Amino acid sequence: MYEIIQAPMAGGNATPALAHAVGEAGGLGYLAAGYKTIERLKEEIHSLRALGTDYFGVNLFVPAKPNNRTPSIEHYCEQLLSEAELIETTIGDYRFSDDSWHAKVQLMIDEQVPVVSFTFHLPTADVITRMKKAGIKTVQTVTSIDEARQAEALGIDEVCVQGVEAGGHRAAFDDSDPVDAKPLVALVKEVVAAVQIPVVAAGGIMDGAGIRAVLDAGAHAAQLGTAFLCCPESGTNPTHIKALLSGKFTTTAYTRAYTGRLARGLNNDFMMRYPDAPQAFPEMHYVTQPLRKKAAELDRADLLAMWTGQNFSAIRVMPATELVHVLKKEANLL
Ligand SMILES: Cc1cc2nc3c(=O)[nH]c(=O)nc-3n(C[C@H](O)[C@H](O)[C@H](O)COP(=O)(O)O)c2cc1C
């Protein structure tokens, strides 16, 4: 039984080495399937198993419908093109992708992945039935009581409650829903009271006291993302690591500027320039892709997307196995 979970982190942060290191300390490590090709995802699953980790999770992005190209999207793309030209690159095509949804679901079944979590939307009932038949434990990321109830009604095994403090994309089923600024512990208590299935808590948890607080609120495990960003096993971009540790960034904020979906990151100049960036995920992810790639090459923290949770100032730089041990000790879990 694990009480500490390493969050799936798409964008290269959640490597097989990180998930393995967390598993070695008795935690649950996740791989992130988001944006990856089937081949790459399969390779990562095989690498993790080759390291000796049999119990792990994989997170899938559940696709929605394509977004029409509106005049405000058109205008934003023009602004992005000017940004890109300043660093001698271009922007990507405005295109929809379902992130190879059906092939990824089939891969989870073929590979008998022990735990599969879903983010952004609910899968269909048929997907849950197939996963259950394959003996896979299913988890749904939720941001409200209503979403947790919908997940339970669908037959999902467990919910991961994501609070407003969390780094990365907000997992609300409808991205236009107003943000509920309720702190994580309060939200966890409400969800625990509203559903019968087990609850995991995520968002801003950086130490044993944070873990203890959500366990006391009724969660069975705490899921941490930002806390693992500076572990040597993580694949976090060096510009992002420097920005986390330099003291130059003191706040995080929500933005749609990079992907067209609300996400929390270090509050840099780029995010501040486009506070009203339009909603269009995943299309805008593909539009900004070359810009983000070039920003990383140029070590430009003012331009790079650096997903980070609110409490990042408490980040620790240490091997992930050691970090999980320290967290367990602090939370009186040893
Ligand atoms: C860099 C980064 C990437 C993330 N990518 C994903 C992802 O691919 N899928 C997902 O469900 N959550 C993703 N998240 C959100 C985490 O699952 C989790 O909700 C969050 O990390 C918890 O907040 P914390 O970062 O303050 O610990 C990401 C978070 C970060 C920081």
- Band (180; pLDDT cuts 50, 70, 90): confident
Contacts of 57 (CB under 8 A, 6+ apart): 5, 8, 28, 29, 30, 31, 113, 114, 115, 116, 117, 139
Token code pair at residue 24: 């070695």
Whole-number Å distance, alpha carbon 88 to ligand 1 midpoint, is 30
Phi, psi angle pair for 168, to nearest 5°? 85, -170
Report whether residue 162 contacts ligand 1, using a CB cutoff of 6 Å.
Answer: yes
Q: Which amino acid is at 59?
A: N
Nearest-5° Cα angle at 141, 206 to 320: 35
Please give the pLDDT value at position 272.
98
Mutate to test the pocket of ligand 1, among 9, 185, 226, 249 (most ligand atoms within 8 A of CB): 9
Mutate to test the pocket of ligand 1, among 58, 60, 307 (most ligand atoms within 8 A of CB): 307
Cβ neighbours of 250 (radius 10 Å)? 9
Is 163 a residue whose pLDDT tops 90? yes
Contacts of 139 (CB under 8 A, 6+ apart): 57, 115, 116, 117, 118, 156, 157, 158, 159, 160, 200
Whole-number Å distance, alpha carbon 182 to ligand 1 midpoint, is 18
Report whether residue 29 contacts ligand 1, using a CB cutoff of 6 Å.
Answer: no
- The domain 1-63+98-237+312-334: what is its CATH number? 3.20.20.70
- The answer to whether the CB of 59 falls within 8 A of the CB of 160 is no
Whole-number Å distance, alpha carbon 243 to ligand 1 midpoint, is 18
Is 83 a residue whose pLDDT tops 90? yes
Cβ neighbours of 120 (radius 10 Å)? 22
Please give the pLDDT value at position 282.
98
Query: What residue spans define the domains of the chain?
Result: 1-63+98-237+312-334, 66-97+238-305
Atom of ligand 1 nearest to the CA of 206: 27
Burial class (CB in 10 A: 0-12, 13-18, 19+), 93: exposed
Report whether residue 34 contacts ligand 1, using a CB cutoff of 6 Å.
Answer: yes
Neighbouring C-alpha atoms within 13 Å toward the C-beta of 30: 25
Whole-number Å distance, alpha carbon 82 to ligand 1 midpoint, is 30
Neighbouring C-alpha atoms within 13 Å toward the C-beta of 35: 15
Please give the pLDDT value at position 116.
99
d(CA 60, CA 140): 10
Q: What interhelical angle do 38-50 and 101-110 show, nearest 10?
A: 20
Atom of ligand 1 nearest to the CA of 236: 1
What pLDDT, in 10s, does the model give residues 208-240? 999 999 999 999 999 999 999 999 999 999 999
Mean pLDDT of 21-36: 98
Report whether residue 5 contacts ligand 1, using a CB cutoff of 6 Å.
Answer: no
pLDDT higher for 173 or 334?
173
Contacts of 118 (CB under 8 A, 6+ apart): 59, 60, 62, 138, 139, 140, 141, 156
d(CA 257, CA 170): 14
d(CA 92, CA 81): 9
Whole-number Å distance, alpha carbon 225 to ligand 1 midpoint, is 5
Q: Is the peptide bond before 282 cis (omega within 30 degrees of 0)?
A: yes
Whole-number Å distance, alpha carbon 192 to ligand 1 midpoint, is 21
What pLDDT, in 10s, does the model give residues 233-263? 999 999 999 999 999 999 999 999 999 999 9
Smallest CA separation from ligand 1 atom 1, residue: 307
Smallest CA separation from ligand 1 atom 8, residue: 10
Which candidate, 211, 198, 193, 215, places its Cα nearest to that of 159? 198
Smallest CA separation from ligand 1 atom 21, residue: 225
Please give the pLDDT value at position 1.
80
| pTM listed for this prediction | 0.98
Strand partners, 29: 6
Kindly report the average pLDDT of the chain as a whole number: 98
Burial class (CB in 10 A: 0-12, 13-18, 19+), 268: buried
What pLDDT, in 10s, does the model give residues 281-313? 999 999 999 999 999 999 999 999 999 999 999
Mean pLDDT of 315-328: 98
